[in-house]
Amino acid sequence: MEARKVIKELDPYVPGRSEDEIANEFNVKKEDIVKLGSNENPWGPSKKAVEAIKKEADGVNRYPETDLHLLVDELASYAGVKSENVIVTGDGADELIDVLAKTFIEPGDEFITPLPTYTYYEFLFKPYGAVPVYAKWDLKNNALDVQSVLDAISDKTKFIFLCSPNNPTGTLVSEGDLRTIIEATDALVIIDEAYFEFSEQTQVNLINEYDNVFIIRTMSKVMGLAGLRIGYGLSNPDVIQYMYRIKPVFSLTRLSYVASLATLRDKEYIKESTAKSIESRDYLYQEVSKFKNLHVLESKSNFMLIDLHDSGYTAAELTNRLMSKGMIVRDCTSFKGIDEYYIRISVASLDDDKRFIEALHTLVD
């Protein structure tokens, strides 16, 4: 059977490499691998979340509860909004993006995405007939090119995606720039705050001022639940209620539900996880900045982008050399709007950070 034309033409999403892949390909012991490629929380989940999962394990023969009000209330409190402003999904932020498309996209609608950015926006929207229009991030100045976004707006624009901090550049979009864009259009402006905890900044106040703002968040990063895939969105009640009409009823599993509640209630874990991530990021930025042939972009996230143009390596070459030493980093060649000379590294423990820097010194000046 032939797939639809749009699916056959869709560029596949390229995920980061796993520890098992690297161990097998490069004959490296799995326990010696340092993983800096997937923007994960290297310190693990909340112990309270693990205990909650163990207690709930005997109930996985039952369907999940459909009444998520306890979790919605906790998320609303964490975000500083009302419960009516919250939607929870069970496949991370990716399900939010998919539900947005299923709820609002008509074939031929346009969506704006500045490049380079998280590629899954396009991957999920195009199958519904949405047409991408590209704006840009200014890599030289490490900032959003606001005018390129404004120039891309047309009467067909339905969504504008702004990742802040942006993946892979780590750049924040200022509140002033967001307001300029929001006020220039009736399109729904999607502010992806998957990494907002690391920046210690949020634009959640904008959902109370504008009807055309939607904020994406996830529990995969600072909250250490990437393996359970929990996302949540914040917007005005009308948008939220339309999305609930189409969202799969049982997309949030029983284990995800109890782990989410336990993590949100473990305030000390969230505080400590955030602090450790920022400490690691700042250390990595400081050390990579000392390399004369590398240029690292300052980041407000738990990762940073490194320019290799003067290093003598392409991203693929340096990535492979590092992986042979047990260091997993992200080759960013698959990101649209970027060439083959950028890698991304994410935070690890300070001990692993030091091992990475030592390995890098053996390859680059």
Nearest to 114 by CA among 174, 158, 159, 160: 160
Regarding whether 23 and 153 lie in a shared domain, the answer is no
Please tell me which residue, 344 or 1, carries the higher pLDDT value. 344
Last residue of some domain: 241, 266, 291?
266
The pLDDT value given to residue 253: 93
Give CA separation, 28 vs 24, 179, 315, in Å: 7, 49, 21
- The mean pLDDT of 10-30, rounded to a whole number, is 77
Q: What phi and psi, each to the nearest 5 degrees, are found at residue 357?
A: -60, -40
Mean residue pLDDT of the chain comes to 94
- The mean pLDDT of 204-215, rounded to a whole number, is 97
| Residue 150 CB-half CA count within 13 A | 12
Regarding whether 165 and 67 lie in a shared domain, the answer is yes
Last residue of some domain: 266, 289, 308?
266
pTM for the whole thing?
Answer: 0.94
**SS3 letters for 263-294?**
HHHCHHHHHHHHHHHHHHHHHHHHHHCCCCCC
Q: Which domain holds residue 345?
A: 5-44+268-361
Regarding whether 70 and 98 lie in a shared domain, the answer is yes
Q: Residue 344 maps to which CATH number? A: 3.90.1150.10
Last residue of some domain: 224, 250, 266?
266
Tally of domains within the chain: 2
Q: What is the pLDDT of residues 287-297, one digit of tens each?
A: 999 999 999 99
Q: Is 2 exposed, middle or buried (0-12, 13-18, 19+ CB in 10 A)?
A: exposed
pLDDT reading at 335 higher than 80: yes
The pLDDT value given to residue 4: 78
Helix (H) or strand (E) holding 316: helix 315-323
pLDDT band at 82 (very low <50, low <70, confident <90, very high): very high
Q: Residue 157 maps to which CATH number? A: 3.40.640.10
**Euclidean distance between CA atoms 16 and 32, whole angstroms:** 18
Contact 189, 213 (CB under 8 A): yes
Q: What is the pLDDT of residues 22-62, one digit of tens each?
A: 888 888 888 888 999 999 999 999 999 999 999 999 999 99
Regarding whether 156 and 279 lie in a shared domain, the answer is no
- The mean pLDDT of 302-312, rounded to a whole number, is 98
Regarding whether 192 and 91 lie in a shared domain, the answer is yes
- The mean pLDDT of 185-196, rounded to a whole number, is 98
Regarding whether 19 and 64 lie in a shared domain, the answer is no
Interhelix angle 237-246/92-104, nearest 10 degrees:
90
Helix (H) or strand (E) holding 89: strand 86-89
The pLDDT value given to residue 14: 67
- The mean pLDDT of 83-96, rounded to a whole number, is 95
Q: What is the pLDDT of residues 232-252, one digit of tens each?
A: 999 999 999 999 999 988 889
| Residue 51 CB-half CA count within 13 A | 6
Angle at CA of residue 112, ends 109 and 117, nearest 5°: 135
Contact 335, 139 (CB under 8 A): no
Q: What is the pLDDT of residues 262-283, one digit of tens each?
A: 999 999 999 999 999 999 999 9
- What proportion of the chain, given as a percentage, has pLDDT over 70? 99
Regarding whether 26 and 149 lie in a shared domain, the answer is no
Regarding whether 310 and 178 lie in a shared domain, the answer is no
pLDDT reading at 116 higher than 80: yes
pLDDT reading at 217 higher than 80: yes
End-to-end CA distance of the chain: 53
Give CA separation, 8 vs 14, 117, 337, in Å: 16, 22, 21
Q: Which two structure tokens, joined as six digits, stand for 317?
A: 């070459």
